[in-house]
Chain A
Amino acid sequence: MKVPVSIRGLSKKFGSFEALRDINLDIAPGEFVTLLGPSGSGKTTLLQVLAGFVTPTSGSILVAGEELLTRPPHQREIGLVFQNYALFPHMNVFENVAYPLKLRRLARSEIETKVRGALDMVRLSQFIDRSVDKLSGGQKQRVALARAIVFEPRILLMDESLSALDKKLREQMQIELRHLHERLHTTTVFVTHDQREALTMSDRIAVINNGALIQFDTPRAIYERPRTRFVADFVGETTFLPVELRAGGGASVFGTPLLLPDHAGVGGASPHESWLALRPEKLAIGPVAGPEAEVNSFSAVARETIFQGDSLLVIAGFPDGQNIAVRLVPQEANRGLVPTPGQPIHINVHRNDSILVSGDV
């Protein structure tokens, strides 16, 4: 089922604490949207409001043009997958998945068919009569998922659903979830604090901090064109260098004029404070400065190198004392490009990878 969801002016106050501040979010039909933010950012509150377990202070949520907030949780037709699975311990796998169908008074045979269908979809048909406490974490996760999709909800909500799994299983489940979404195309809201998970799974990511929506964009745009220092810092590794904005519209770092990408002018950044956000893997180390026209170049001194298996991290220091990390892939390292500590180097970055972000949030 494909429905559009539009969240308008949603706020929630707990006493004087503002858990959500005027959230506006338009989710396209069938879209997979991730709410990404640190713990306490308000992403779970937003999910609880969607599910109906938290009453907002003000705002509106329209699902296919109809107000959702006036409906009680049990009439919202929302499939919810909890972090700790919330499988009913007194029911086996079949009974858990059949529960929403029984509530809807479906015929016995129809329940049977649908439960089998849902369990097939999460590849658990062979466990249909298993007691839930005999399942592994990954299997429980799948039963919870099957239970949430079996009644064909209009929206699927997932609250940190994969965070209880170990890394390998989690990555496997991420891909499975993606495939499942490609088959069902249910409008999905996924909550996580794991930026990598958000980047892997989402059509679009809504970055939330302090109860406010900071940026809502595709994973690529979030990673490559973060709007604020917070987003750049939260998604991926970043070194920030202070930027002086010039009256004429240009910008400079350490007194050197900056070459900036065509798409984002200085105008995007806050006039008061802005930063140059540099990703370690977009940087290169050279004994000399790069070609003037396309590359920004900063001189620094190598401090130490850290071996990380698939890559090598070089920590270098600027004259003002700030450190910057540069990631070298092994090929580069083999080519003798690894500086020794104390060696003066140039850090080069293409102007398209020179991102200006505002320092507000």
Chain B
Amino acid sequence: MLTAAASATQIRHYQRLWLYGLCALIFTFLIVPCVLIVPMSFSASNYLEFPPRAWSLRWYREFFDSAEWMDALWLSLRVAGLTTLIATPIGTAAAYGLSQMPERLTKPLRLSFLLPMIVPNILVAIGVFFVFAKLGLNNTVTGLVLVGIMLALPFVLVTVSSGLQSFDGNLERAARSLGATRLKAFLTVTVPQIKSSIAAGALFAFVAAFDEVVIALYISSGENSTLPRRMFANIRDQVDPLVAAVSSVLVVASIVLLLIVQIAKRPEKGAAR
């Protein structure tokens, strides 16, 4: 009786072939733009074409040999790295603080931390440009890092909060009853338990800061252009395979990051992505 009922809900595979087919199409839609860039970037011609008529590493050479592009890449890496180093502890501290407070107090605070996700980027961009102009922070690494931290905070907060949610608060209490101060208990018991969430938060922070382009359009220019800023200008002004080469590098980097996350995630079950 029970088994009959169970198998009845299991819609048989052939019955949902249409679902598999549909999803395959959607997956194609999702993935093709991310990977199609890679073969096109090996084109030898001046235009983008698929499949390329002749293959070469010309555009990669152009990218890696160009001082301007390399400067932009290093700037972006520096900004994203600094952002991660600062935003991760700040966001983790906030997530922990909020997790220990009664809910009625934390709701407005949580919402304020989500504001950078909600407020349209373009609005932040012109506002920040305006304020930075007064402070002399336009075209500075400091300015870009500050913006990066602001944009990264919601990601860190959300990932670390969800890690803390599945964390058993009794573990920390146990540590404190055994003689650990709050800080010591947090560092020796809580952090090891939520480390994959913190790492995921840090990765999000890095990506958010690295990929930021709308605000950078306003507060970074000339020598102080970030990589996405330079790419944006290049796409708008000339569609040549150079950006395809840069994009391919970024796509490969994304795939590597994704693999790192998948592998790091494995040992800890139940922790947040």
- The answer to whether A86 touches B171 (Cβ under 8 A) is yes
* Cα(A147)–Cα(B177), bound, Å: 11
- The answer to whether A90 touches B178 (Cβ under 8 A) is no
Q: In this assembly, does B110 line the interface, its C-beta being within 8 Å of a C-beta of chain A?
A: no
Interface string of A114-128 (1 = CB under 8 A from B): 000000000000000
With CB as the reference atom, state the residue of chain B lying closest to A73. B176
B-side contacts of A99, CB under 8 Å: 175, 178, 180, 188
Q: In this assembly, does B181 line the interface, its C-beta being within 8 Å of a C-beta of chain A?
A: yes
A-side contacts of B184, CB under 8 Å: 74, 103
- The answer to whether B173 touches A86 (Cβ under 8 A) is yes
Assess A51 versus B179: contact at CB under 8 Å? Given A84-B170, A86-B168, A88-B171: no
A-side contacts of B176, CB under 8 Å: 52-53, 72-74
Inter-chain residue pair count (beta carbon < 8 A): 68
* Cα(A312)–Cα(B176), bound, Å: 50
Find residues 76-133 in chain A having any chain B CB closer than 8 Å to their own CB: 76-80, 82, 84, 86, 88-90, 99-100, 103-104
Q: In this assembly, does A151 line the interface, its C-beta being within 8 Å of a C-beta of chain B?
A: yes
* Cα(A82)–Cα(B188), bound, Å: 19
B-side contacts of A157, CB under 8 Å: 177
* Cα(A157)–Cα(B177), bound, Å: 10
- The answer to whether B170 touches A82 (Cβ under 8 A) is yes
- The answer to whether A73 touches B171 (Cβ under 8 A) is no
Q: In this assembly, does B226 line the interface, its C-beta being within 8 Å of a C-beta of chain A?
A: no
A-side contacts of B188, CB under 8 Å: 99
- The answer to whether A53 touches B179 (Cβ under 8 A) is no
- The answer to whether A82 touches B174 (Cβ under 8 A) is yes
- The answer to whether B181 touches A53 (Cβ under 8 A) is no
Choose one: B168, B170, B177; the contact of A74 (CB below 8 Å): B177
Interface string of A47-76 (1 = CB under 8 A from B): 000011100000000000000000011111
Q: How many residues of A contact B (CB 8 A)?
A: 26
CB distance from B172 to the nearest CB of A (A): 9
* Cα(A151)–Cα(B174), bound, Å: 13
* Cα(A103)–Cα(B173), bound, Å: 15
CB distance from A13 to the nearest CB of B (A): 15
A-side contacts of B83, CB under 8 Å: none
* Cα(A72)–Cα(B189), bound, Å: 18
* Cα(A99)–Cα(B188), bound, Å: 10
CB distance from A81 to the nearest CB of B (A): 9
Q: In this assembly, does B192 line the interface, its C-beta being within 8 Å of a C-beta of chain A?
A: yes
Q: In this assembly, does B193 line the interface, its C-beta being within 8 Å of a C-beta of chain A?
A: yes
- The answer to whether A74 touches B180 (Cβ under 8 A) is yes
- The answer to whether A89 touches B193 (Cβ under 8 A) is yes
Assess A100 versus B178: contact at CB under 8 Å? Given A88-B189, A90-B192: yes
CB distance from A62 to the nearest CB of B (A): 19
Choose one: A52, A72, A86, A90; the contact of B174 (CB below 8 Å): A86
Assess A80 versus B174: contact at CB under 8 Å? Given A86-B168, A89-B193, A90-B193: yes
- The answer to whether B193 touches A73 (Cβ under 8 A) is no
With CB as the reference atom, state the residue of chain B lying closest to A103. B179
- The answer to whether A84 touches B179 (Cβ under 8 A) is no
B-side contacts of A79, CB under 8 Å: 177-178
A-side contacts of B173, CB under 8 Å: 51, 53, 73, 80, 82, 86
- The answer to whether B177 touches A151 (Cβ under 8 A) is no
* Cα(A324)–Cα(B134), bound, Å: 87
A-side contacts of B175, CB under 8 Å: 88, 99
A-side contacts of B181, CB under 8 Å: 72, 74
Find residues 151-186 in chain B having any chain A CB closer than 8 Å to their own CB: 168, 170-171, 173-182, 184-185
Find residues 291-337 in chain A having any chain B CB closer than 8 Å to their own CB: none
* Cα(A82)–Cα(B172), bound, Å: 12
B-side contacts of A86, CB under 8 Å: 168, 170-171, 173-174
A-side contacts of B182, CB under 8 Å: 74
With CB as the reference atom, state the residue of chain A lying closest to B188. A99
* Cα(A89)–Cα(B271), bound, Å: 13
Find residues 125-168 in chain A having any chain B CB closer than 8 Å to their own CB: 147-148, 151, 157
With CB as the reference atom, state the residue of chain A lying closest to B185. A74
- The answer to whether B178 touches A103 (Cβ under 8 A) is yes
- The answer to whether A104 touches B170 (Cβ under 8 A) is no
* Cα(A88)–Cα(B172), bound, Å: 9
B-side contacts of A51, CB under 8 Å: 173, 177
CB distance from A147 to the nearest CB of B (A): 7
* Cα(A89)–Cα(B175), bound, Å: 12
* Cα(A82)–Cα(B174), bound, Å: 8
CB distance from A90 to the nearest CB of B (A): 4
With CB as the reference atom, state the residue of chain A lying closest to B181. A74
* Cα(A323)–Cα(B269), bound, Å: 54
Using a CB–CB cutoff of 8 Å, the interface residues on chain A facing chain B are: 51-53, 72-80, 82, 84, 86, 88-90, 99-100, 103-104, 147-148, 151, 157
15 A-B contact pairs sorted by A residue (CB < 8 Å)? A53-B176, A73-B177, A74-B177, A74-B179, A79-B178, A80-B177, A82-B170, A88-B171, A88-B175, A90-B192, A99-B175, A99-B180, A147-B174, A148-B178, A157-B177
List the 6 closest pairs (A to B, CB-CB), nearest first.
Answer: A100-B178, A80-B177, A86-B174, A86-B170, A103-B179, A73-B176
- Having A84-B170, A88-B175, A89-B171, one finds 5 other A-B pairs with CB under 8 Å, namely A74-B179, A74-B181, A78-B177, A90-B192, A100-B179
